Structure 1
Amino acid sequence: MRHWLSAAFSAALVLAALTGCGASGDTDGDLTDDWQPVAEARQFTPRAGVCHESAEPTGHLTNYQPVDCRTTHLMETVHVGTLTGAVARRSAPPRVGSAALRPAFAECDQRAREFVGGDWRAARLSVQVAPASPTGWQGGSRWYRCDLFVLDSVGGLNGDNDTAVPHTGSLRGALGGGSPVRLTCFEEDEQQRLRHSPCDAPHRFEYAGTWTAPEGSSRPVARDEDDVHARCRPVVARYARVPVDGDLRYRTGTAYRLPSEAAWARGDRGVRCFFWSGGRSVTSSIRDGGATALPVG
């Protein structure tokens, strides 16, 4: 822009000299004293409340092409925050999934809860932090986007992958009413993966809530199964409204699904806990059902 303006200005001077034009009566002859200074370039900052067709976890300006959330998209930005302190003084942006972005993930976690109306893990959703690009960082940008997205109904729900699937419409208030992304009742397929089932149809699993693993912990593996089941039993008890006592293990079985490895690296420590009937099929929800829904047996 500045190069073009300079060239145009030079051309105007040459033209004036060749044609012998003088100043008109209503001008002062000074071509520069009334010019407004070119506005100082501002740092690019993304907006909240828009959606994106790209799932790129780094905020490159060249990829920033927000779309109306009423159209099909992959990501929805629920908040834009600012990195501060030692992280902001780095010479380059933190790597996506690094410990340096954990505080930002915690902020995004809370903002996403407010956006959907509760713990977003009660739906087929995930959250990611998208920091400014290296180029933007060098220019002074310290923002990060909190992006919310819908997981695949099988692979995403069961922690096999972290793929964002196309979605139409905003996720604001997604935990209300009969949202198709809410976790309700499930049946298991031949690969022992949970698949949605109507709660009034025969099923053996029901989402009950989330247990949050400690921040410093590693992703649970097979050797930790008993501990995770023990953590999930009280979650089921609170959901069904039965006592957390010595009889609880005789009232309910449990199942759980971990966040994907990528989500765990981002900072998601929410382990989704499910009621398991122990093999028999049920045809109603256990929510608030008390001892009638979960008898000792």
Structure 2
Amino acid sequence: MERKRTVIYLVVGILVLCSGVVGLIVKMAAGTRGPVGDGSALTPQAGSCRHALDMGATTPEARGFPPTFGGRYAMCTKAHEIETFFVGRVSASLSAADAEKEIDGTCRVEADKFLGGPRGTGRVATTSYMEENADHLAKRWFSCEVAEVGNAAGTTLVTRTGSLRGALAGPGPVVLGCANSAAHDFVFLPDCAAPHTAEFVGLYTLADDANPADDEARDRSVGAGCQKAVTDFLGWDQRTFESSDLIDVTFWGPGAAEVRDGNRVFQCFVTTVEDRKLTGSLKGLGAGKVPVAG
């Protein structure tokens, strides 16, 4: 039996002007540390919300999270895109590189607490900012930020009128479901009723002893883990999956540098072959017919 093909997408970097798959932005739900803010005009406050950019911005930086901490503040019950969920201070004993790693880890932990569940299970993106202008590293603040997003690459921030606190504690509109494949991206859908090419099935965590620099080994491990997540989600065995000419598996997550810094969680999706459209959820499909249009 021929081994099943696995399509792979990786998000590797910070904002548009930094590294990323064909320039794609920031941290999807698997978020990483973002751009640096100068802190000269604004100091972040946990529990506050703001707009991503001033109205009328048309530059590439206007996509997704802004490159520096800023934006117009708004009440979290009014229209906004970004919410600050944690603010801290950099540890005095750390080097700049270790400070960034500490910030990454802190924001990942605090994001799951704030959202009420693993951030990778939601249509959310996270980032962080660190103050530049303090005269000593230990005097600098850092902030952890979250936004609802319309796509996996995080380039589309959704305007909301409520906090994301507890949004992933149970079923709800922000929980990740179905999507359509785009160029190195997924465009999220509000539900699985509309035609779609992908459905989120769960998370896979790469083992702590995995070597992030070994791309092939990492991809094999994540691919196998996500394939198991897909078969469990569908209620299929391995043979059924391998014999299907309709269903495939895709994963999305951190690149080597982020894995090395501790971000090891990948999102697993069941996808269609040749972008054929599904007309319903595949959860618990079992012996049923794959709901493919046409």
TM-score, normalising length: structure 1: 0.60
Amino acid of the residue matched to residue 47 of structure 2? G
Structure 2: gaps of 5 or more residues: 1-41, 53-64
AA at the equivalent of 2:279:
T
Cα distance in 2 for partners of 1:219, 1:147 equals 28
Contact 2:81 2:159 in 1 (8 A): yes
Picking from 263, 275, 281, the partner of 1:285 is 281
Larger deviation, residues 249-258 vs 228-237: 249-258
Tell me whether 1:81 sits opposite 2:79 in the alignment.
Answer: no
**SS of alignment partner, residue 134 of structure 1:** coil
2:286 counterpart SS class: helix
Q: 1:237 aligns with which of 231, 238, 262?
A: 231
Instruction: Judge conservation of contact 2:88–2:142 (CA < 8 Å) in 1.
Output: yes
Q: Which residue number in structure 2 is paired with residue 48 of structure 1?
A: 46
What residue is the counterpart of 1:113 in the other structure? 112
Structure 1, residues 231-259: CA drift from partner, whole Å, max 9, x if none? 2112223434556x666544652012235
Query: Please, which moves more after superposition, 117-126 or 168-177?
Result: 168-177
2:280 counterpart SS class: coil
Q: Quote the residue 2:121 is aligned against.
A: 122
- Which residue type is aligned with residue 139 of structure 2? S
Q: In 2, Cα distance between the equivalents of 1:116 and 1:206?
A: 21
Q: Structure 1 residue 185 and structure 2 residue 178: aligned?
A: yes
User: Post-superposition shift, 1:275?
Assistant: 0.9
Contact 2:212–2:257 (Cα < 8 Å) also in 1: no
Q: Report the counterpart of residue 265 of structure 2 in structure 1.
A: 270
Give me the whole-angstrom Cα distance separating, in 1, the residues matched to 2:122 and 2:257.
18
Q: 1:194 to 1:126 in 2, by over 3 A?
A: closer
2:59 maps to what in 1? none
Q: What is the rounded CA distance, in whole Å, between the counterparts of 1:220 and 1:75 in structure 2? A: 35
Q: Measure how far apart 1:129 and its partner are.
A: 2.6
Q: Which residue of 1 aligns with 2:157?
A: 165
Give, in whole Å, the separation in 1 of the partners of 2:100 and 2:286.
43
Unaligned runs of 5+ in 1: 1-43
Q: Which residue of 1 aligns with 2:186?
A: 194
Go from structure 1 to structure 2 and tell me whether the alpha carbon gap of 1:185 and 1:258 turns closer, same or farther (over 3 Å shift).
Answer: same
Q: Is contact 2:90-2:137 (8 Å) kept?
A: no
Give 2:79's aligned residue.
72
Question: CA shift at 1:205, angstroms?
Answer: 1.7
Cα distance between partner residues in 2 of 1:106 and 1:263: 10
Question: Equivalents in 1 of 2:146, 2:262: separation in Å?
Answer: 14
On the 8 A contact 2:90/2:99 being kept in 1, the answer is no
| Residues 1:202 and 1:65: Cα distance change in structure 2 (over 3 Å) | closer
Shift, 1:69, TM fit: 1.4
Deviation at 1:66, TM superposition (A): 4.2
Partner residue in 2 for 1:148: 146
Q: 1:73/1:218 Cα in 2 relative to 1: closer, same or farther (>3 Å)?
A: farther
Structure number with greater CO (CA < 8 Å, separation at least 6) is 2
Following superposition, the deviation at residue 147 of structure 1 comes to 1.2
User: Are residues 182 and 165 of structure 1, via their aligned partners in 2, closer, same or farther at CA, if it must alter by over 3 Å?
Assistant: same
Partner letter of residue 287 of structure 2? T
Match of 1:100 in 2: 99
SS for the counterpart of 1:167 is coil
Q: Which amino acid aligns with 1:231?
A: G
1:253 and 2:248 matched: yes
Distance 1:196 1:83, change over 3 A: closer
Aligned equivalents of 1:192 and 1:131: distance in 2? 29
Q: How far is the alpha carbon of 1:199 from its aligned partner?
A: 1.5
Cα separation, partners in 2 of 1:188 and 1:285, compared to 1, 3 Å:
same
Which is helix-richer, 1 or 2?
A: 1
Bigger Rg, which one: 1
The offset of 1:219, in angstroms, is: 7.7
Report if aligned partners of 1:286, 1:293 keep a CA contact under 8 Å in 2.
Answer: no
SS in 2 for 1:77: strand
